[in-house]
Amino acid sequence: MPTEDEMTVSERRKYLKRMKPLYIKAERTEQSRMLTEMEQVTGLHRKSLLRLLHAPTLERKKREKGRGRTYGLAVEQVILVVWESLDYVCAERLTPVLLSTAEHLARFRSVRLTSEVRERLAQISEATVTRILYKYRSRKQRLPQKGPERANQVRKPVPMKRIPWETSETGHFEVDLVQHSGESGEGIFAFTLQMVDVATGWSERVAILGKGQQAMEGGFRHILQRLPFAVKELHPDNGSEFFNHHLVRFWGEAITGLMLSRSRPYQKNDKRFVEQKNATLVRQYFGAIRLDIPEQVQAMNALYEHMWIYYNFFQPVLHLKEKVCQADKVVRHWDQAQTPYQRLIAAGGQSLDQRTRLQALYEQTNPMALRKEIYRLLDALWDTPCATASIA
């Protein structure tokens, strides 16, 4: 295979076609100079160039007889058995362990290895394995998938997208649910329902026990009562806790003109803002321990009430303002850091009462005392018997 700087066979022939008439008309001394130049350009030996230049034609001949098989059916069958045993991994992952895995399977009589097959498996290339697997890729048994008859019909009409990073209008929220189940997913445990506004970075959190319809609706009601601006779009993932008839009905009743969108399955970057806050404002506080009693959920919400003021009014955030593609990378430029409260006021759209209430809350809050109270409430949560047992 030619490197990046080398000519392909077709490129060499095309170059020689142009040089051949000039070479034939030239004097002997000039022909010698031209051959030297063609050697440097094409990378071919001088004798090869002479044979090509004196040939009747420079057109490439089609292969009259196909190349014989280097690797027989026995080798191919062993490759397929190893491929299946490793759950149909790609050729790049399969080739390095092909021989060792085949020898391991031979101990259990899953494959039959002869000395010739061993030798072939040791020397086979990744490209050859890729060609062999290509013929069989449609026959492999895949993991069972949920059929269309069982698909969630509620989310079917909801478009898949991501909210653009350059959105300047407030009210476009990414939504996610963070579970606090510890090492076991059994039973009922706490969840954190989080919403992040893309334009301002304004974040809302509430802890709920379980993710049933009543708990989810109660969490959304709590956020909507406290939120100082209107919700225009909700952008969750594809979970049934978000897309069910009860919750969609509630959204339609509680929020006039709401637009629903959803992320693509298994594409966490479609909700990159809320995923980032899941790490910094939820997991960094509570870690991965199990929280599953009402007292713990109440303690979490007491903490979230203080975090709501601290992170929305006093924690500055950066916002992406430009992406520039340079060569093989993307260079990002960020604006000057501002708090979500400052960005919200600058965006406008609030009533006079809302602006007055927000300004009063900001002016009467001491961020140092608020931070100390947040850590005191967090320590109090760890002192609960169930939390202590989970940590131990």
The answer, yes or no, to whether residue 392 has pLDDT greater than 50, is no
Assigned domain for 64 exists: no
Burial bucket for residue 341 (CB in 10 Å: 0-12, 13-18, 19+) = buried
| 388 band by pLDDT with thresholds 50, 70 and 90 | very low
pLDDT of 157 reads 87
Helices 73-85 and 98-107 sit at what angle, rounded to 10 degrees?
A: 80
Residue 154: pLDDT above 90? no
Domain co-membership, 224 together with 324: yes
Residue 4 confidence class, pLDDT cut points 50, 70, 90: low
* CA 293 to chain centroid: 34
Q: Output the pLDDT for position 3.
A: 59
Question: Are residues 288 and 317 located together in one domain of the fold?
Answer: yes
Written as one letter, the residue type at 156 is K
Tokens of 225: 């009562």
Q: Are residues 197 and 254 in the same domain?
A: yes
Q: Are residues 245 and 343 in the same domain?
A: yes
Cα–Cα distance between 392 and 389 in angstroms, integer? 5
As a whole number of angstroms, the distance between CA 219 and CA 239 comes to: 16
Give the pLDDT score at 348: 86
Question: Quick one: pLDDT at residue 217?
Answer: 93
Nearest C-alpha neighbor of 194 from the set 209, 212, 174: 174
Q: Is residue 207 part of a domain?
A: yes
Whether residues 133 and 185 share a domain: the answer is no
In a shared domain, residues 319 and 361: yes
Same domain membership, residue 238 and residue 90:
no
Q: Categorize the per-residue pLDDT at 385 as very low, low, confident or very high, splitting at 50, 70 and 90.
A: low
Residues 39 and 77 both lie in one domain: no
Domain co-membership, 236 together with 319: yes
> Each residue of 255-295: pLDDT tens digit?
888 899 999 988 888 999 999 999 999 999 998 889 989 99
pTM: 0.61
d(CA 286, CA 282): 6
Looking at the predicted structure, is the pLDDT value of residue 381 above 50? yes
End-to-end CA distance of the chain: 59
In a domain, 59, yes or no: no
pLDDT at 205 exceeding the cut of 90: yes
CA distance 169 to 272: 18
> Is the Cβ–Cβ distance between 40 and 87 less than 8 Å?
no
Read off the pLDDT band of 68 (50, 70, 90). Answer: low
Same domain as 231, residue 113: no
Same domain, 248 and 375: yes
- Inside any domain, residue 163: no
Q: How many domains does the chain have?
A: 3
- Residue 360 pLDDT: 94
Residue 369 within a domain: yes
Please say whether the beta carbons of 206 and 296 come within 8 A.
no
Residues 257 and 360 in one domain: yes
Long-range contacts: 209-214, Cβ < 8 Å, 24+? 209/292, 209/294, 209/297, 211/177, 211/241, 213/244, 213/246, 213/247
- Residue 346 — pLDDT band, cuts 50, 70, 90? very high
Reported as a single tens digit per residue, the pLDDT across 6-26 is 788 888 889 999 999 999 999
Which of 122, 138, 154 is the last residue before a domain boundary? 138
Q: What is the largest CA-CA distance in the chain?
A: 100
Percent of the chain with pLDDT over 70: 91
Last residue of a domain, one of 138, 160, 194: 138
Residue 256, CB-side half-sphere exposure with 13 Å CA sphere = 0
Q: Which of 38, 129, 60 is nearest to 92 (CA)?
A: 129
Which residues make beta-bridge pairs with 383? none
pLDDT given for residue 67 in this prediction: 65
Q: What is the pLDDT of residue 88?
A: 84
Domain contains 153: no
Between 62 and 232, whose confidence is greater? 232
Distance of CA 216 to the CA centre of its chain: 27
Q: Is 310 exposed, middle or buried (0-12, 13-18, 19+ CB in 10 A)?
A: middle
Q: For residue 347, which of 338, 226, 224, 233 has the smallest C-alpha distance?
A: 338
Rounded mean pLDDT, 246-259 = 87
The amino acid sitting at 339 is T
Q: Once rounded to an integer, what is the mean pLDDT over residues 355-379?
A: 91
Domain of residue 40, residue span? 9-53
Length of the chain: 392
What mean pLDDT do residues 340-346 have?
92
User: Is 111 inside any structural domain?
Assistant: yes
Is pLDDT of 378 > 50?
Answer: yes
Domain boundary among 88, 120, 138: 138
Q: Please give the pLDDT value at position 298.
A: 93
SS3 call for 321 = strand
